[in-house]
Amino acid sequence: MALEEFKDAMFPLVAVKFNGTNQMVRLRELTQAQLYACGGSELSLIETFQDKIRMKAKPTMAEIIQYASVQNQIVKRALVKPTYQEIFDICKTGFDTEAYKKLIDEAEEALESIPMGPKYSALEEELDSYRIWVDLILPQDFMASIVCYTFGIDKSDIKDVTEQALLNAAIMAERGHDNPADHLKGLFTDFMKDDINRRAWIILNEKKKEEKNGG
């Protein structure tokens, strides 16, 4: 076996969706540090009642850009074979990537010399649309499948974590002077434990504010 083939074999073949069909790719699971380096700290794997309410509202352009950028960084790191660039080159058929990157550079340069106002806002919105186009070339079901794998979602219990469980864990952690994740039993990665801790403390603090305001 050639060295390159041996290196590829170190990573599992995973079935992912690509425009609705299953495709086999070689992927690596990312460590907590790698996920954070990709901007993963901006993502949460836990869906609370408040998240569901927010999802009914139209996401802001900044939120769309941030999510697309984080997704892209994660997929770039996770793909072993084919590489991100190989798939990108297939998907960008008819899409002039270099032209869009040039437009982005020109718009960013122009923004530096334009004072705040309607013209600035219009150019900023145009710049945002260019960034999104570049980051969203790959099919969304493909991107989502890979992100799910790299986080290890399907092999964990993270989707079974409820808002009430987080609140209870935070209360116990406050009393025990430790972390909410210490009070939730299940299969969780280090990233997920951090996610649990963040969300649990937020929920507990919101609950205290409600009680203080007579809610």
Residue whose token pair is 């309607």: 118
Domain count for the chain = 2
Residue 186 falls in which region: left (phi positive, over 0), alpha (psi -120 to 50) or beta:
left
Helix (H) or strand (E) segment spanning residue 26: strand 21-27
On whether both 144 and 176 belong to a single domain, the answer is: no
Mean pLDDT over residues 105-112, rounded?
Answer: 77
On whether both 147 and 205 belong to a single domain, the answer is: no
- Per-residue pLDDT, 172: 96
- Domain residue limits at 170: 156-215
- With respect to residue 105, please indicate whether it lies within any of the assigned structural domains: no
On whether both 215 and 150 belong to a single domain, the answer is: no
On whether both 142 and 177 belong to a single domain, the answer is: no
- Per-residue pLDDT, 103: 74
On whether both 169 and 141 belong to a single domain, the answer is: no
Mean pLDDT over residues 132-144, rounded?
Answer: 80
On whether both 7 and 17 belong to a single domain, the answer is: yes
Least confident of 104-113, 140-149, 156-165: 104-113
d(CA 36, CA 198): 14
- Per-residue pLDDT, 53: 47
Give first-to-last CA distance, the chain, whole Å. Answer: 67
- Per-residue pLDDT, 7: 62
- With respect to residue 112, please indicate whether it lies within any of the assigned structural domains: no
pLDDT of 93 above 70 = no
Q: Give me the percent of the chain exceeding a pLDDT of 90.
A: 34
On whether both 12 and 67 belong to a single domain, the answer is: yes
- Per-residue pLDDT, 8: 65
- With respect to residue 111, please indicate whether it lies within any of the assigned structural domains: no
Instruction: Identify the domain boundary among 154, 181, 199.
Output: 154
Question: Global pTM?
Answer: 0.73
pLDDT tens digits, residue range 15-74? 999 988 999 999 988 888 999 998 888 788 886 555 554 555 566 767 777 788 888 889
